[in-house]
Amino acid sequence: MPNSEAGGHRGGPDHILSLLRRLRLDWLLRHFPPRLVRSVYVFVNGFVTIALLALLALVSQNPFVFPSLGPTAFLLFFSPLAKTSSPRNTVFGHAIGILCGYGAYVVTGAGATPFGLHPGIFWPRILAAALSLSLTDGLMVLFGVSHPPAGATTLIISLGIISKPRELVIIEVAVFLLVAQALAINRLAGLPYPLWNRAPSTGLTNESSE
């Protein structure tokens, strides 16, 4: 069955079935479509991981939740065996986005007027956004650490929405925590989610997903 095999390559029905068996819930696949079960799997894991980070943000009053964390969570649970979802690409991708975003924010003078005082668009902010995104994209390609959500991270910073150095450290810590949660959950599901980088010879994902 080609579809189920493709799903297994991407970390789909195969690992979900493994998890359901461990929880004695494999009967769900006999009563509901596999796509629906997988949808619920992504929904539950996305809710749990982001809710925990949001609770940490509330308690610590720090930005442990930010917009680009959403697409990262989706990748880590929808296609956990893809190269872009590996801990290496996720951590380094956001790190590059953070550095490029802050560098562009400072160099272009976009930080001269705080975002709260001038929430609109003006030329330094336009230049900062373009520079940060192009640098992030170029460096991710150069270092082979493709992770699309990092493009949103760099824009959040270069536009001044989150720009204090201390907050930038928190952003990267939040990425580490999300990856740690994904590692625990995906391993519990019986998935060979890598500790750091996906082995290039595993054949678990299609080349198109890289």
Please state the domain extents for the chain: 2-205
Tokens of 110: 């976009």
**C-alpha to C-alpha distance for 160 and 64, rounded to whole angstroms:** 17
pLDDT of residue 53: 97
pLDDT of residue 37: 76
Instruction: Considering only residues 24 and 138, tell me which one the structure prediction assigns the higher pLDDT.
Output: 138
**pLDDT above 90 as % of the chain:** 59
HEC per residue, 161-172 = CCCCHHHHHHHH
Across residues 73-90, what is the average pLDDT?
94
The yes-or-no verdict on residue 201 having pLDDT over 90 is no
pLDDT of residue 72: 97
pLDDT band, very low/low/confident/very high, at 110 (cuts 50, 70, 90)? confident
Give the pTM.
0.81
The yes-or-no verdict on residue 12 having pLDDT over 70 is no
pLDDT band, very low/low/confident/very high, at 118 (cuts 50, 70, 90)? low
**C-alpha to C-alpha distance for 17 and 4, rounded to whole angstroms:** 11
**C-alpha to C-alpha distance for 48 and 33, rounded to whole angstroms:** 23
